[in-house]
Amino acid sequence: MRRLRIKELAGLGLSAIILAAGQGTRMRSDLPKVLQPLAGRPLLGHVLDCAAALTADDVCVVYGHGGEAVREAFPQDSLRWALQAEQLGTGHAMQQAMPGTPDDNRVLVLFGDVPLLTPTTCRRLVDGTPPADVAVLSVDMDDPTGYGRIIRDGGSVNRIVEEKDASPAERAVAEINTGVMVCPASEMKRWLDNLGNDNAQGEYYLTDVVAMAVSDGVTVHGIKAGTWTEVMGINDKKQLAEAERALQARLVDELMKQGVGFADPARVDIRGELKCGKDVFIDVNAVFEGNVELGDGTTIESNNLVRDSKLGPRTLVHSNCHIEGATTGNDCEIGPFARLRPGAELANDVKVGNFVEVKKSTVADGSKVNHLTYIGDAEIGAGVNVGAGTITCNYDGVNKFKTTIGDGAFIGSGVELVAPVKVGAGSTVGAGSTISKDVPENQLVLERSRQKVVPGWQRPAKKDK
């Protein structure tokens, strides 16, 4: 019998080993299972976030199916990778990771397809277990069919039995194994060396380590997760959709605790990080992707997509807008049916109205671009009014050019500004003009052909067959 002394293990480092080599055949997808998207990020990304939150000093990903794609998706230098070329069970997967694992660390086993596990639960598992002991994360289920059962002897775990190897009495146990466990690395290596595959599946079960630990006199703790949702594994698209809704509910709940208002918490999707100030209100069917920040008093109406953008205080986004890579100042109004593309920078009190597109342009305080307009590669001064149907002609087929509009200028409807071109401060451009030369300050400029009627002209008509 071998028993590690706790004082030898005090202050141990933590190795998070993430098993992510499964084929995921039930996904029916060319994309590896651990790269399937959940809240806009791969499943494995959520697990890596959990490991990072635990400040694990060693993170190893055991990969196999779609291996190169998985590695390319996570190019961090801090990761250690271990290839499981053959799928011979969870114990076999762990054997691939252990040679590079420091002997004096503790090992936390995680799974690339269990993305909803929280750092809080993992910390409870790690911190709540004496360093020389082993702990497994379990959960009670109303219907445990298909899962390995936790068999206890008093309070401690005695062994874990897979359903195919379980007796009728053991199958009646409601407490199931999640696979997540913590163990001294040196002992894990020794127990893995003694694994066999004499079971119904002919695989090397990591769960057999529990029986070995008990045989060596090591206490195995069973620590229960709060809910099944947190430890659910993702094996098919149905489970992926269920996990999506569960994660969205968690994210929205956290924001509501911070004071954010939602018309319907079930009809919002956050695919990244959403930071909100005070008195923010979000209507239904809003989607937030990447890093989004909403200032105090901002309102997001229905059916909007906001991606990698920062909206200033009291900004109002009307329905059906697409905002990406944009910033606004205070008290802006956007939409409905507006599009802000990357590089759109609105100052304070700016109005971008319906069917307006702004790309890589700055719009200064108090300016208005209200209707049916394209603004690209432009610098618009303060207090400018841009009329309906105006476009900046910024592209000649090869190069992009800049349009500059000075403070207080008025651009009439249906104007074409052919860049590079400057409109001086205080000038007015008459409706229907095509401007290809610079306009001086405080001038009225018109560029139109004389209207005339062409006598005898007839519209072409189809010939009778």
Q: What amino acid occupies position 255?
A: L
Q: Enumerate the β-bridge partners of residue 422.
A: 404
- Any long-range contacts for 261-267 (C-beta under 8 Å, 24+ apart)? 263/302
Q: What does the alpha-carbon distance between residue 314 and residue 276 come to, in Å, rounded to a whole number? A: 12
Q: Is 271 helix (H, G, I), strand (E, B) or coil?
A: strand
Q: What is the DSSP letter of 336?
A: S
Helices 208-215 and 185-193 cross at an angle (nearest 10°) of: 110
DSSP three-state, residue 112: coil
Q: Are 192 and 208 in contact (CB under 8 A)?
A: no
What residues pair up with 429 in beta bridges, in sequence order?
Answer: 411, 445
Phi, psi values for residue 228, rounded to 5°: -65, -35
**Distance from the first to the final alpha carbon of the chain:** 101
- Please tell me which residue in 46, 221, 318, 371 is annotated as part of the active site: 371
Phi, psi for 105 (deg, rounded to 5): -90, 165
Pairing status of strand 345-346 against strand 368-376 = unpaired
Rg (Cα) of the chain, in Å, rounded? 31
> Residue 161: which H helix or E strand, with range?
strand 156-161
Query: How far apart, in whole angstroms, are the C-alpha atoms of residue 268 and residue 262?
Result: 8
Active site residue 371: yes
Q: What angle, 0 to 180 degrees and rounded to 10, lies between the N-to-C axes of helices 43-53 and 119-127? A: 50
- CB of 317 closer than 8 Å to CB of 306: yes
Write down the H helix ranges in 75-206.
90-97, 119-127, 168-171, 185-193
Residues contacting residue 160 through CB under 8 Å, at least 6 positions apart:
136, 148, 149, 150, 151, 177, 207, 210, 211
Active site residues: 371
